[in-house]
């Protein structure tokens, strides 16, 4: 594989597992120094053993103090940050009449506010170097919600608008910002209450058998990583402010 990210420094949030780990692996294999932020210390440490030039940065992204401390440390160590992948997120199913403010605030803090803080705190570094690629991970739940996802969908829908708006702010500085809305991806997040949702009868009958997902299968984290790597690279030179849907066609069917 070529060295698209040689001498590039990339931050990936939620890098300990699932989509974030796949993105960290992909960027690292293509030459990047990857700094992985996650609350799961042990999983991050395990990744360090596999990846060359990988730096583990344990952080609770629900805490601004934690985020600010991590960024200060990273800035002290690295003179440039080329790529920011805002991937960390949590899913919390709850019907709207049962949803409380506490749950709303927690999901918003991790899924949305952390992206806001990472962008606003790292934008000055990218502006000064006149280069940057930002990739925010949203979700197709924002446009085609399942039951009980109002809070999650709101957090992800805001990422579409936030990404469009920062793309305008940052374009004069050579910084491109895009988002990815994954559909149904086979990761630890697709295991709900101990059940892998991609193996249930309903999923197999409706999403696969009846081709609600035209490609008739869940996606793999590596398939999100491939798109993220493009958006994070120099090959992405005329795409900004977009949310790329990567869902096997899920949102094109009724």
Ligand X SMILES: NC(=O)c1ccc[n+]([C@@H]2O[C@H](COP(=O)([O-])OP(=O)(O)OC[C@H]3O[C@@H](n4cnc5c(N)ncnc54)[C@H](O)[C@@H]3O)[C@@H](O)[C@H]2O)c1
Nearer to ligand X, 131 or 142 (CB): 142
Q: Which of 16, 83, 84, 245 binds ligand X (CB under 6 A)?
A: 16
Question: Which span sits near ligand X by CB under 6 A: 18-26, 123-131, 200-208, 236-244?
Answer: 18-26
Radius of gyration for the chain, computed over Cα atoms and rounded to the nearest angstrom: 18
Question: Distance between CA atoms of 165 and 61, rounded to whole angstroms?
Answer: 22
Element (H, E) at 180: strand 175-182
Q: What is the DSSP letter of 181?
A: E
> What length does the chain have?
254
Question: Which span sits near ligand X by CB under 6 A: 34-42, 45-53, 203-211, 234-242?
Answer: 34-42
Nearer to ligand X, 23 or 170 (CB): 23
Work out whether 74 is an interface residue with ligand X (CB under 6 A).
Answer: no
Work out whether 82 is an interface residue with ligand X (CB under 6 A).
Answer: no
Question: Distance between CA atoms of 97 and 34, rounded to whole angstroms?
Answer: 42
DSSP letters spanning 66-127: HHHHHHHHHHHH-S---EEEE---------GGG--HHHHHHHHIIIIIHHHHHHHHHHHHHH
Dihedral sign of CA atoms 168, 170, 176, 178 in order: negative
Q: Which of 12, 25, 81, 110 binds ligand X (CB under 6 A)?
A: 110
CB of 237 to ligand X, least distance (A): 25
Q: Which of 182, 207, 231, 245 binds ligand X (CB under 6 A)?
A: 182
Work out whether 12 is an interface residue with ligand X (CB under 6 A).
Answer: no
Q: Which of 115, 139, 178, 233 binds ligand X (CB under 6 A)?
A: 139
Residue with tokens 């979700």: 139
Work out whether 39 is an interface residue with ligand X (CB under 6 A).
Answer: yes
In the chain, which residue ranges form alpha helices assigned H by DSSP? 18-29, 41-50, 64-77, 101-108, 114-129, 150-170, 201-202, 221-232
152 is catalytic: yes
Question: Distance between CA atoms of 164 and 228, rounded to whole angstroms?
Answer: 17
Work out whether 46 is an interface residue with ligand X (CB under 6 A).
Answer: no
The number of residues that bind ligand X (CB under 6 A) is 28
Nearer to ligand X, 64 or 127 (CB): 64
Q: Which residues are catalytic?
A: 152
- Sites of contact with ligand X (CB under 6 A): 14, 16-20, 38-40, 59-62, 87-91, 110, 137, 139, 182, 184-185, 187-190
């Amino acid at each position: 594989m070529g060295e698209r990210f040689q001498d590039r420094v990339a931050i990936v949030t939620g890098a300990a597992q699932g989509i974030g780990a796949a993105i960290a692996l992909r960027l690292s294999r293509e030459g990047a120094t990857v700094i992985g932020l996650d609350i799961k210390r042990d999983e991050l440490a395990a990744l360090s053993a596999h990846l060359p030039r990988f730096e583990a940065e344990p952080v609770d992204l629900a805490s601004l103090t934690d985020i600010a401390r991590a960024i200060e440390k990273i800035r002290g160590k690295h003179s440039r940050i080329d790529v920011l992948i805002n991937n960390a997120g949590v899913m919390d199913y709850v019907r709207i009449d049962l949803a409380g403010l506490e749950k709303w605030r927690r999901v918003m803090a991790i899924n949305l506010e952390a992206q806001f803080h990472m962008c606003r705190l790292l934008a000055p570094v990218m502006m000064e170097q006149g280069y940057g690629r930002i990739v925010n991970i949203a979700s197709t739940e924002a446009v085609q919600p399942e039951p009980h996802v109002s809070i999650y969908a709101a957090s992800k829908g805001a990422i579409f608008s936030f990404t469009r708006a920062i793309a305008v702010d940052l374009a004069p500085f050579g910084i491109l910002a895009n988002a990815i809305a994954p559909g149904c991806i086979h990761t630890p997040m697709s295991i709900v209450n101990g059940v892998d949702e991609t193996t249930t009868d309903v999923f197999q009958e409706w999403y696969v058998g009846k081709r609600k997902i035209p490609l008739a299968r869940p996606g793999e984290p590596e398939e999100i990583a491939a798109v993220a790597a493009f958006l994070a690279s120099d090959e992405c030179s005329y795409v900004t402010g977009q949310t790329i849907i990567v869902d096997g066609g899920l949102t094109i069917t009724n």
